[in-house]
């Protein structure tokens, strides 16, 4: 290591920033996260910095810089925006004994500001000694995903309880207590907004002399994995994956997404190929319940949003029938992702003010949907599982009075490397699906606007095959 990472105590200490523009303001924002006394060494300040002075959060030193300006400072940042002036001031500050950081001039720096993940009092500082700033950003992004936004408040609360823990939890049980606090029910409750519950659970455990049981209660999370791309998962979904003991996942869940799970979590494929039900729903219900009853943290990972054509109702009911805690972690449903991929809004003021998510594949024996009431003027119809039923759907929609010229857009495997777009008119839906060999998973949009039926795009965007 050429540099040594340290956390400096800042309360009441002087930090000098030389400069009055945006670069100086960036450093000021950073310094003001601490309790340091900020001095702005500049004749003129921009609006943001002046406002800080007016608000009493910083003081301005307008004088000509002398070694005295820097004496006794805990840190000095030089950010005048003028290379020569920066170098001269840096030399002066260093001669006065200060630790100096010069913006964008690493060779003049005694100290570097790291990339910071701020969950105060938990602070993660990432540095690469200037070798790979982009990597530092990537690490930062991963950490931001891992650490829920409100974690700082939870850490602060835990900190306030340290004394009580030291008094009431015997030394041999303390480590387990904190492990439990930061990885189990208390943190989980806090992360989902139940701060009071989290505090209550912690206090109760302290009163009882330690963390409850070996592993705590089992929990089933029905987690939305989004349409495929792993950066379309929510932060909460990633957290559940990282806490999971066992993950039951679907056919449509991308392998990339599973990589977000803890390395030693068990992964069980419970995919259903259409028609071939190696894993009928009841069997899935039974295995997730059995795992949770063993006290395991269970993630049932489903493509898109668990609550959209995801058989979540059965799994919720099975869990509740056994008195197990079960939650849904929402995900980006295929229709949303496909809308984004098409670069258009699924609703359009005045034209389509209804968005209907419907499935083309109902339960065997159920009557076909009444498309006439579903697809009225002003509707964007997003059809899930519609490819195999395209012929029936096309004829039913036409019979229900939906114009044959209505725009249809089909998006296959949205957000994956296989993503494909096909456009046609409703009158040509089934033929297009056959000719273009459209395969699952695909979402079919039918636009039935109030007044205006768009002509098909003359020059289709890349990846978009237009068919008449
Ligand atoms: N719960 C999922 C839907 C599961 S039903 C969600 O909210 O998205 C399965 C159907 O979803 C597929 O037949 C297809 O219509 C659609 N689908 C799922 N993933 C898709 C993807 N990546 N691209 C296009 N359609 C997708």
Mean predicted confidence (pLDDT) in 35-41: 97
Q: Tell me the average pLDDT across 38-57.
A: 96
Is the beta carbon of 228 within 6 A of some atom in ligand 1?
yes
pLDDT at 365: 78
Give 15-79 as a DSSP string.
EEEE--SHHHHHHHHHHTTTTPEEEEE-SS--HHHHHHHHTTSEEEE-SPP-HHHHTT-SEEEE-
Domain architecture of the chain: domains with CATH = 14-113 (3.40.50.720), 151-207 (no CATH), 219-332 (3.40.1010.10), 343-466 (3.30.950.10)
Annotated catalytic residue within 250, 254, 285, 305: 250
Q: Is the CB of 339 under 6 A from ligand 1?
A: no
- 3: CA distance to ligand 1 center in Å? 49
pLDDT band at 454 (very low <50, low <70, confident <90, very high): low
Which tokens hold the place of 183? 């990885």
272 is catalytic: yes
Q: Residue 326: in which H helix or E strand, if any?
A: strand 325-329
CA 132 vs. chain centroid, Å, equals 24
Mean residue pLDDT of the chain comes to: 90
The per-residue pLDDT for 355 is: 96
CA 369 to chain centre: 35
pTM, to two decimals: 0.62
Number of the ligand 1 atom closest to the C-alpha atom of 335: 8
The answer to whether the CB of 308 is under 6 A from ligand 1 is: yes
Q: Is 294 a catalytic residue?
A: no
- Please count the CA atoms within 13 angstroms of the CA of 265 that sit on its side-chain side: 25
The Å distance, Cα 442 to ligand 1 centre, comes to: 7
Q: Which residues pair with 381 in a beta bridge?
A: 356, 446
The residue contributing the CA closest to ligand 1 atom 6 is 304
Question: For residue 23, which of 99, 91, 101, 92 has the smallest C-alpha distance?
Answer: 101
Percent of residues, the chain, with pLDDT higher than 70: 94
Q: For a pocket test of ligand 1, which of 281, 304, 357, 416 has the largest count of ligand atoms closer than 8 A to its C-beta? A: 304
Confidence of residue 372 (pLDDT cuts 50, 70, 90): confident
Residue 279 has pLDDT above 90, yes or no: no
């Amino acid at each position: 290591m050429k540099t040594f990472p340290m956390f400096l105590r800042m309360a009441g200490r002087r930090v000098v920033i030389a400069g009055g523009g945006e670069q100086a303001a960036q450093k000021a924002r950073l310094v003001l996260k601490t309790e340091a006394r900020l001095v702005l060494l500049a004749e003129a300040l921009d609006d943001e910095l002046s406002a800080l002075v007016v608000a009493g959060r910083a003081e301005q030193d307008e004088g000509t810089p002398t070694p005295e300006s820097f004496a006794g400072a805990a840190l000095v940042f030089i950010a005048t925006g003028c290379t020569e002036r920066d170098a001269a001031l840096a030399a002066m500050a260093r001669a006065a004994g200060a630790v100096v950081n010069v913006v964008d001039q690493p060779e003049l720096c005694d100290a570097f500001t790291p990339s910071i993940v701020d969950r105060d009092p938990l602070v993660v500082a990432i540095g690469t000694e200037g070798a790979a700033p982009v990597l530092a950003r990537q690490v930062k992004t991963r950490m931001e995903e891992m650490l829920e936004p409100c974690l700082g408040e939870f850490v602060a609360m835990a900190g306030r309880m340290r004394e009580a823990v030291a008094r009431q939890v015997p030394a041999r049980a303390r480590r387990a207590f904190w492990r439990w606090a930061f990885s189990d029910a208390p943190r989980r409750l806090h992360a989902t907004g139940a701060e009071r519950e989290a505090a209550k659970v912690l206090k109760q455990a302290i009163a009882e002399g330690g963390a409850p049981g070996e592993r705590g209660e089992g929990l089933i999370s029905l987690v939305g994995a989004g349409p495929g791309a792993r950066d379309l998962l929510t932060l909460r979904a990633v957290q559940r994956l990282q806490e999971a003991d066992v993950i039951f996942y679907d056919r449509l869940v991308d392998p990339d997404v599973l990589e977000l799970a803890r390395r030693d979590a068990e992964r069980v494929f419970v995919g259903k190929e259409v028609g071939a039900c190696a894993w009928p729903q009841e069997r899935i219900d039974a295995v997730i319940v059995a795992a949770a009853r063993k006290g395991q943290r269970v993630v049932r990972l489903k493509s898109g949003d668990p609550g959209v054509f995801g058989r979540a109702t059965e799994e919720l009911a099975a869990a509740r029938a056994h008195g197990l805690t079960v939650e849904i972690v929402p995900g980006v449903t295929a229709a949303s992702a496909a809308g984004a991929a098409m670069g258009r809004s699924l609703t359009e003021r005045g034209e389509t003010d209804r968005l209907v998510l419907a499935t083309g594949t109902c339960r065997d024996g159920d009557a076909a949907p009444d498309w006439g009431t579903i697809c009225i003027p002003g509707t964007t119809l997003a059809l899930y599982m519609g490819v195999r039923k395209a012929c029936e759907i096309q004829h039913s929609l036409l019979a229900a009075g939906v114009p044959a010229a209505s725009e249809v857009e089909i998006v296959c495997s949205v957000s994956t490397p296989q993503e494909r777009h096909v456009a046609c008119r409703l009158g040509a839906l089934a033929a297009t699906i056959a000719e273009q060999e459209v395969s699952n998973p695909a979402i079919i949009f039918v636009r039935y606007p109030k007044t205006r039926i768009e002509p098909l795009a003359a020059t289709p965007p890349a990846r978009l095959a237009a068919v008449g």
